[in-house]
Amino acid sequence: MKNLKFTLILFSSFLAVSLSVAQSIDEGKKFLYYEKYVSAKNVFQQLLSVNPNNEEAAYWLGQTLIAPDEEKDIEGAKALYVKGLSANPNSALLNAGMGHVELLEGKTQPARNHFETAISLSGGKSIDVLDAVGFANGDYDSKFGDAAYAIEKLTQATNIKKFKDANVMTNLGDAYRKLGDGGSSQRSYETALTMDPNYARAKFRIGRIYQSQGLTQESIYLQYYNDAIALDPNYTPVYFYLHQYFYLTDVGKSAMYLDKYLQSKGSDETNACFLNAQMKFAQGLFADAFTLSENCIASSATPYPNLYGLKAYSAYKMGDSINAKTGFDMYFQKQNPAKIGSRDYETYAKVLLKFQGNEALAGVFIEKAVELDSTETGKVNLLKSIASIYESRKLYGDAADWYKKIVYLKKVPSKTDLYNAGIGYYRIGQYYPAIQMFDLYAQKFPEDIFGYYYKGGAQAGIDTLMTFDSAYQTYTKAVAVGEAYPDKSKILTLIKGSYTYLIIYAANKLKDKELALGFTDRALLLDPADTVFIGFKESISKMGASKPPASKPPVPPKKN
Question: pLDDT for 499-539, tens place per residue?
Answer: 999 999 999 999 999 999 999 999 999 999 999 999 999 99
Using one digit for the tens of pLDDT, what is the confidence trace for 371-417? 999 899 999 999 999 999 999 989 999 999 999 999 999 999 999 99
Q: pLDDT band for position 5 (50/70/90)?
A: very low
**DSSP calls for 254-266:** HHHHHHHHHHHH-
Give per-residue pLDDT as tens, 88-119.
Answer: 999 999 999 999 999 999 999 999 999 999 99
- Please indicate, yes or no, if residue 315 is contained in any of the structural domains: no
Query: 536 lies in a domain?
Result: yes
441 C-beta neighbours (distance < 10 Å), count: 25
pLDDT of residue 248: 82
Q: How confident is the model at residue 14 (pLDDT cuts 50, 70, 90)?
A: very low
The CATH number linked to 247 is 1.25.40.10
Q: What angle do CA 189, 36, 64 make, to 5 degrees?
A: 80
How high is the pLDDT of residue 6? 40
% helix, strand, coil for the chain, step of 5:
75, 0, 25
Residue 285 lies in a domain: no
- Comparing CA positions, the residue from 507, 508, 425 lying closest to residue 465 is 508
Measured CA to CA, the distance from residue 123 to residue 115 in angstroms comes to 12
The DSSP secondary-structure symbol of 163 reads: -
**pLDDT score for 513:** 94
Is residue 358 in some structural domain?
Answer: no
- Residue 289 has what pLDDT? 96
Least confident interval from 217-231, 343-357, 540-554: 540-554
Backbone region of residue 557 per phi and psi (left: phi > 0; alpha: psi in -120 to 50; beta: other values)? beta
The pLDDT assigned to 247 comes to: 87
Instruction: Tell me, rounded to whole angstroms, the distance of Cα 530 from its chain centroid.
Output: 55
d(CA 83, CA 75): 12
Q: What is d(CA 37, CA 67) in angstroms, rounded to the nearest whole number? A: 8
CA distances in angstroms from 216 to 213, 219, 289, 379, 507, listed in the order given: 7, 8, 34, 28, 70
Confidence grade of residue 546 (pLDDT, cut at 50, 70, 90): low
pLDDT of residue 300: 87
- For residue 549, what pLDDT band results from cuts at 50, 70 and 90? low
Give CA–CA dist 533/516, Å, rounded. Answer: 11
Average pLDDT taken over every residue of the chain: 91
Confidence of residue 357 (pLDDT cuts 50, 70, 90): confident
Q: Is the pLDDT of residue 558 over 90?
A: no
- Is residue 26 over pLDDT 90? yes
Angle, helix 92-104 to helix 108-121, in steps of 10 degrees = 170
- Whether residue 352 has pLDDT greater than 80: yes
> Is 126 domain-assigned?
no
Region 233-257: mean pLDDT is 91
Q: Which residues contact 469 (CB under 8 A, 6 or more apart)?
A: 505, 552, 553, 555
SS3 of residue 431 by DSSP: helix
Instruction: Please give the residue range of the domain that contains residue 494.
Output: 446-541
Look at residue 86 and tell me whether its pLDDT is greater than 80.
yes
pLDDT of the residue at 301: 87
Domain boundary among 244, 265, 286: 265
The predicted pLDDT at position 71 comes to 75
The CATH number assigned to the domain holding 485 equals 1.25.40
Closest residue by Cα to residue 510 from 477, 537, 547: 547
Confidence (pLDDT) at 544: 78
Question: For 34-73, where are the alpha helices, taking DSSP H only?
Answer: 37-50, 55-66
The sign of the CA dihedral 155, 160, 161, 165 is negative
Burial class of residue 556 in the structure, from the number of CB atoms within 10 Å of its CB (0-12 exposed, 13-18 middle, 19+ buried): middle
Q: Which of 41-45, 168-172, 243-247, 502-506 has the lowest mean pLDDT?
A: 243-247
DSSP-assigned letter for residue 557: P
Domain count, the chain: 2
Give the pLDDT confidence score for residue 67 in this predicted structure: 87
Asked whether the beta carbons of 192 and 199 are under 8 A apart, the reply is yes
| pLDDT value at 163 more than 70 | yes
Distance CA 168, CA 257 (A): 28
pLDDT at residue 515 in the model:
94
Asked, for residue 51, whether it belongs to a domain, the answer is no
* Closest to 254 (Cα-Cα) out of 227, 283, 297, 274: 283
Strand, coil or helix: what is 121? helix
Q: Would you state the pLDDT for residue 20? A: 47
Domain limit, last residue, from 265, 290, 322: 265
Segment 118-147, tens digit of pLDDT: 999 999 999 999 999 999 999 877 789 999
Domain presence at residue 115: no
Please give the Cα distance from 395 to 403 (Å, whole number): 12
Mean pLDDT of 360-374: 92
Query: Residue 162 region, left (φ>0) first, then alpha (ψ -120 to 50), else beta?
Result: left
Is residue 3 scored above 90 in pLDDT? no
- Mean pLDDT over 284-308 rounds to 93
> Which among 161, 152, 135, 6 has a CA at the least distance from the CA of 67?
135
CA angle 182, 128, 233 (to 5 degrees): 60
Residue where a domain stops, chosen among 265, 292, 322: 265
> Does residue 474 surpass a pLDDT of 90?
yes
CA separation for the pair 62, 195 (Å, rounded): 27
The residue type of 533 is F
Start-to-end CA span in the chain (Å): 104
Give the closest residue to 255 by CA, choosing from 240, 236, 234.
240
- Domain for residue 258, yes or no? yes
Q: What is the pLDDT of residue 4?
A: 41
Q: If you write DSSP's letter for every residue of 164-183 in order, what string do you get?
A: --HHHHHHHHHHHHHHT-HH
